Amino acid sequence: MIVIDGSYLEGGGQIVRTSIALSAITQKPVKIINIRKKRKNKGLSYQHIACVKAVKKLCNADVDGLYVGSEELTFYPNKISPKSFKLDIGTAGSISLVIQTLLPISAVIKKPTTITITGGTDVKNAPPIDYMKNVVLKVLSCVGVDANIEVLKRGFYPEGGGVVKLTLKPSKIKEIELIEHSEDKKVEGIAYAQNLTDDIPKRMRKSCSELLMKNGYLPNIKLENSKGISTGAGIVLWCDTVGESCLGEKGLRSEIVGKMAAERLLEELKSGMALDKYMGDQIIPFLAMGKGRVGVSKITNHTRTNIYVVENFFDVKFEIEEYNENGCNGHIIKTEG
């Protein structure tokens, strides 16, 4: 049995998500100890439990320690049997993080499966759903992942109520070589609001577009205003394989939200690397399965943590090296073995 220390480096829920997904893929039982031990609220939360339940459903796993606050979890996978089902996180917990857990399983399923997930689409400390749809899936298509995300309803903290349909199709993971950004100058995006006035997404788009154009980029940002259970706003931007975002907050003017999103994207693009720092950690399991090299703007503790987990499941070693060529300033992550 593989034992993973849940307090390693950033010590967050990502350790649980990656461990469970790779346990199902490799059919190796895993015990995760010290789950989120360094965090104020230790142990599993509703969001982590939802991730485990989703993978459990797909591989008929036996699980010990699956309850809120649990600091130790043991997962015994069985043969993967794809099936379509619905999953309610039960809170405004991130749907994106559940999807992040499920995407690697596309490498081993034999038929398409659709999972309809209810929870939060746009919440703090998690990738917004439009980033998953327009950046993550685009990058993962380069390694052979065949998946689709359909946003049916948006959900914000604390009520949630977002609904997303994820479709996974059998995928053959292949080698990837993606180092430098394409230098595409077209920035796409979406400025959205729910249960708020129409001017809010317009104001976010205006301030964002002005800053992007000032820096030589061509913005094409769509507007969305919807009704739903929860209230919120935000903006997500992407330029080819690099993305950024900013979530609206009470007391934070729409113009500031739009400007912050643009500033964050410009900072990522300044590195000249193909992947932003968020994609850097999400690509790790796929690099292990398909091998290759990717260029990343910054190496985060999330990335190093995912490397630690993945190296426990696969006969592979990762190397990280600085990259300073063609005006780029970042890092290369590559596999050895």
Binding residues for ATP: 100, 278-282
Q: What are phi and psi of 273, to 5 degrees?
A: -90, 160
Dmax (CA) for the chain in angstroms is 55
Residue 171, phi then psi, degrees to nearest 5: -130, 140
Question: Cα(146)–Cα(162) distance, rounded to whole angstroms?
Answer: 23
C-alpha separations of 47 from 17, 22, 55 in Å: 10, 18, 13
Going by the annotation, the residues of the binding site are 100, 278-282
The span from the CA of 286 to the CA of 288, in Å, is 5
In angstroms, the Cα distances linking 110 to 73, 74, 105 are: 28, 26, 10
Q: Is the dihedral of CA 88, 92, 96, 102 positive or negative?
A: negative
Kindly state the tokens that stand for 152: 């049916």
Catalytic amino acids?
Answer: 302
Looking only at the bridges linking them, the beta strands covering 146-153 and 162-169 are antiparallel
Please check whether residue 271 is in contact with residue 326, taking contact to mean a CB–CB distance below 8 angstroms.
no
CA 18 to CA 15: how far, in whole Å? 5
Angle at Cα 255 formed by Cα 261 and Cα 220, nearest 5°?
55
* Residue ranges with strand state E in the chain: 2-5, 30-33, 62-64, 73-76, 85-88, 113-119, 146-153, 162-169, 176-178, 186-194, 218-226, 232-239, 242-247, 292-296, 317-323, 330-336
d(CA 321, CA 58): 37
DSSP-assigned letter for residue 262: H
